[in-house]
Amino acid sequence: MNHKNEESDTLTEAKTPVSNFIRTIIDNDLQTGKHSKIVTRFPPEPNGYLHVGHTKSICLNFGLARDYQGVCHLRFDDTNPEAEDVEYVDSIMEDIRWLGWDWKDKLFYASDYYEKLYDYAEILINDGKAFVCELSAEEMNKNRGTLTQPGIDSPWRDRPAAENLDLFRRMRAGEFADGQMTLRAKIDMRSGNINMRDPVIYRIKRASHHRTGDKWCIYPMYDYTHPISDALEGITHSICTLEFEDHRPLYDWILDQLPVPCHPRQIEFARLNLSYTVMSKRLLLTLVKEGYVNGWDDPRMPTVAGMRRRGFTAAALRELADRIGVAKASSTVDFELLQYCVREDLNKHAKRVMAVLDPLKVIIENYPEDTTEMLEAINNPEDETAGTRMIPFSRELYIEREDFLTDPPKGWFRLAPGAEIRLKHAYYITCKEVVLDADGKIDKLICSYDPASGGGWTEDARKVKGTLHWIDASNCIPVEARIYDQLFTVSDPMSAEEGKTFLDYLNPDSLKVIKALAEPSLAEAKPGESFQFLRLGYFCADYDSKPSAPVFNRVVTLKDSWQKKGVVSQRLV
RNA sequence: UGGGCAGUAGCCAAGUGGUAAGGCAGCGGGUUUUGGUCCCGCCAUUCGGGGGUUCAAGUCCUCCCUGCCCAGCCA
């Protein structure tokens, strides 16, 4: 994968954190002496790529560990071999590192605990707290009851412990078929909480595991595995999302029955939702598998890999996580906030360059024909250390077609017949003549320049309000610009109207490929390198770039308070 | 009409009985060789609604309303 982490800030310097209910709990636990050090964990299942929703959880868990001088473990919750794959564990580790976090030597897998988990299960059985059930999946489902009706006890519920133990051992030994029996916790079939209705804790599943291979044919369930894994690792605060709230009684029940080293506290918070996108692994998988996007790292995807490729920076993603806060109210954050975070970071770090997406030729009639002069251009006004570079200027140039209007509206201070504008870093030019082609379309502009305005400035107090970006027609390179827009046309693709699905809201214009022209320096752009194309937006070199044929992904546009006024309606993109 | 959770501005969110932080968005102005950045100002007489307790309630009590999650041998 081609990317690099252009971090200039450091994660060790935490800003003053905004208070949230989890910090309040931790502060309290530290103050009362319940804990002297905190241990958190990020527990992904390796069954898909990480998305922005996960970055909230990652930054929360690793951020708490950083701020409280604790540690955060990375633990793969790999208890369902059918869905999991090393491709995913690799991408997850890569993404977390790219985000700037370090789990040091605290890398774990739930599958590392299979043996211990098994031993604990035998304890449960011996204590009469678990039983082997021979109900089929359908029968069990039927006996479970409904949301409003209690379930009924399994006929196998009161088997003697010895028999349960024998059966469970034989389950492990592979004597039974997949699905033929399960190990269930013996809790309460009449509980209002369906998770407590004798939940399955082990199932028989002959699937090759990405780490344990074919060693096991029984696999523990999440609700059983997770609390024990947390306890074995000495996790103090086990932070998860809201949908696990009613699993907490089960989490606590499991730990209460067993001689585990400690009893971590599960705390739930609201997951991140972002407008104009979807945040479920299942839906993202659909987009990938059915070809609506070009893979997990398609720049339109809300995956960490996709956003990285698009040019969103790790610092921006972390900033987003900091800004959205942590609470228990389900919420959907405006995509605008993410864009703000990206612009904020890129504004400080991206080198300014010039490129023209939709060229309109300009001929400077009073500029010598066989001259090319090199002009000095500042690389980043926000960062003096970024230095300057030289850019070529000669008689024939290109400007952005939308920067010229024959009959401009009031308030227009770009180019128009007779108008004078500044070419960034170059000269003032005045439009003398508009040349049309056979179809009546504007073919080129004949302009004159003021030789006294070198560098884009004159000593007189002349008012030249407009400044345009441009490129030298004979000293530029062709580049491919991939112009991205929201993948969906509605802010909440999940709440589809009758008979529609989220796929019906895919934005047909989410990607436009444009042949653009850019200043020569861009020929050397490295994949992953970000630039501000002056006045157009931030662009990031894609790994599809070839040495002489760079490809740029548009990360985000610049804010445009002029366009917002609605005066210019037809923008190229 | 089972269980769990949540409602503070368009979107997030702080607030832990003492008189509604902050950010994004929006609006207005200033600076500007990017209509960018930056800077300044405005933006909740009120916290889902009604009662109640209190000198004092977003915070406590009570009733109601709305939304989200749960019936995988997924996590």
Length of chain A in terms of residues written? 573
- Domain end marker among A309, A342, A375: A342
A 480-539: CB within 7 Å of strand B? 532, 534-535
Check: CB of residue A51 under 8 Å from CB of residue A284. Answer: yes
Check: CB of residue A502 under 8 Å from CB of residue A496. Answer: yes
ipTM tops the 0.85 cut: yes
A 64-83: CB within 7 Å of strand B? 77, 79-80, 83
User: For residue A284, what are the contacts with CB-CB under 8 A and spacing of at least 6?
Assistant: A48, A49, A51, A278, A296, A301, A302, A303
Domain extent at residue A161 = 115-220
Looking at the structure, do residues A230 and A329 belong to the same domain, yes or no?
yes
Query: What are the structure tokens assigned to A370, written together?
Result: 């066989």
Looking at the structure, do residues A395 and A408 belong to the same domain, yes or no?
yes
Sign of CA dihedral A399, A401, A407, A409: negative
Looking at the structure, do residues A367 and A465 belong to the same domain, yes or no?
yes
Q: Residue A426: its pLDDT value, please? A: 98
CA distance A381 to A352: 9
Looking at the structure, do residues A364 and A408 belong to the same domain, yes or no?
yes
User: For residue A213, what are the contacts with CB-CB under 8 A and spacing of at least 6?
Assistant: none
Tokens 């319940």 identify what position? A34
Q: Which DSSP helix (H) or strand (E) runs through A87? A: helix A86-98
A34 CB neighbour count, 10 Å cutoff: 12
Looking at the structure, do residues A321 and A426 belong to the same domain, yes or no?
no
Distance in Å, residue A36 CA to nucleotide B56 C1': 39
- Domain end marker among A424, A458, A476: A476
In a domain, A430, yes or no: yes
In a domain, A63, yes or no: yes
Would you write out chain A's pLDDT as a tens digit for each of its 573 residues?
A: 444 344 434 444 456 778 999 999 999 999 999 999 999 999 999 999 999 999 999 999 999 999 999 999 999 999 999 999 999 999 999 999 999 999 999 999 999 999 999 999 999 999 999 999 999 999 999 999 999 999 999 999 999 999 999 999 999 999 999 999 999 999 999 999 999 999 999 999 999 999 999 999 999 999 999 999 999 999 999 999 999 999 999 999 999 999 999 999 999 999 999 999 999 999 999 999 999 999 999 999 999 999 999 999 999 999 999 999 999 999 999 999 999 999 999 999 999 999 999 999 999 999 999 999 999 999 999 999 999 999 999 999 999 999 999 999 989 999 999 999 999 999 999 999 999 999 999 999 999 999 999 999 888 878 899 999 999 999 999 999 999 999 999 999 998 887 889 999 999 999 999 999 999 999 989 999 999 999 999 999 999 999 889 999 999 999 999 876 654 433 333
Q: Residue A568: its pLDDT value, please? A: 42
Strand B close to A334 by CB, under 7 A: yes
User: For residue A288, what are the contacts with CB-CB under 8 A and spacing of at least 6?
Assistant: A295, A296, A298, A301
Q: CATH number of the domain that A196 lies in?
A: 3.90.800.10
Looking at the structure, do residues A28 and A78 belong to the same domain, yes or no?
yes
Nearest DNA or RNA nucleotide to A182 (CA to C1'): B73
Scanning A400-465, the segments in alpha helix (DSSP H) are none
In a domain, A392, yes or no: yes
Catalytic site residues of A? 45, 271, 281
Residue at minimal CA–C1' distance from B13? A325
Q: Residue A362: its pLDDT value, please? A: 98
- Domain end marker among A220, A246, A262: A220
Strand B close to A271 by CB, under 7 A: no
Looking at the structure, do residues A365 and A338 belong to the same domain, yes or no?
no
CA distance A240 to A38: 16
Q: CATH number of the domain that A78 lies in?
A: 3.40.50.620
Distance in Å, residue A565 CA to nucleotide B40 C1': 22
Strand B close to A376 by CB, under 7 A: no
- CA-based nearest residue to A53, from A243, A279, A335, A308: A279
In a domain, A569, yes or no: no
Looking at the structure, do residues A408 and A322 belong to the same domain, yes or no?
no
Q: Which positions of chain B lie under 7 Å from any protein Cβ?
A: 1-8, 10-16, 21-27, 33-38, 67-75
In a domain, A563, yes or no: no
In a domain, A155, yes or no: yes
A 15-54: CB within 7 Å of strand B? 18-21, 24, 43, 45
Tokens 């200039």 identify what position? A8
Count of domains observed in chain A? 3
pTM score, two decimals?
A: 0.94
Distance in Å, residue A323 CA to nucleotide B13 C1': 9
Strand B close to A221 by CB, under 7 A: yes
Residue at minimal CA–C1' distance from B15? A19
Nearest DNA or RNA nucleotide to A197 (CA to C1'): B71
In a domain, A507, yes or no: no
Instruction: Return the bridge partners of A239, or none.
Output: A267
Q: Residue A564: its pLDDT value, please? A: 65
Q: Residue A565: its pLDDT value, please? A: 61
Looking at the structure, do residues A140 and A274 belong to the same domain, yes or no?
no
Looking at the structure, do residues A363 and A403 belong to the same domain, yes or no?
yes
In a domain, A560, yes or no: no
Strand B close to A195 by CB, under 7 A: yes
Looking at the structure, do residues A266 and A397 belong to the same domain, yes or no?
no
A 345-364: CB within 7 Å of strand B? 347, 352
Distance from CA of residue A87 to its chain's centroid? Answer: 18
Distance in Å, residue A247 CA to nucleotide B4 C1': 9
Q: Residue A157: its pLDDT value, please? A: 98
Cβ neighbourhood burial of A304 (10 Å; 0-12, 13-18, 19+)? buried
Looking at the structure, do residues A105 and A134 belong to the same domain, yes or no?
no
